[in-house]
Amino acid sequence: MNKQDIIKTVAANLEVTQKDAAKYVDAVFVTIKDAMADGESVNIAGFGKFEVVEKAESKRRNPQTGETIMVAAHKAPKFKAATALKEAVL
């Protein structure tokens, strides 16, 4: 399923146009992205938790050259699924 499939499903479930559904879906994604950009976590009950984690500086190996390189410390997005979502998938 991709973004367009999600928009079609939302439009059908809410009985709105796909154009309106696209606005709703985009609004949710932008809200999550903006919150994470500000360093906030986003908890959606029954679905999961989106958060930003700090990754420490680390040594990595370039697979093409075999050279060891240092990767600078950085932030990365993380998602942890809620128990209800995990159980629904099983």
Alpha helix (H) residue ranges in 1-90:
3-14, 18-37, 83-89
Give the chain's length: 90
pLDDT digits (tens, 9 = 90+) for 24-36: 999 999 999 999 9
DSSP 65: T
Alpha-carbon distance values, 43 to 46, 54, 56, 90 (Å): 9, 18, 24, 22
> What domains appear along the chain, each with residue ranges and CATH number?
3-82 (4.10.520.10)
| 3-state secondary structure at position 4 | helix
State whether residue 44 is helix, strand or coil.
strand
Q: What is the CA radius of gyration of the chain?
A: 18
What's the DSSP call for residue 45? T
Instruction: Write the pLDDT tens digit of every residue in 29-82.
Output: 999 999 999 999 999 999 999 999 999 999 999 999 999 999 999 999 999 999
pTM of the model: 0.81
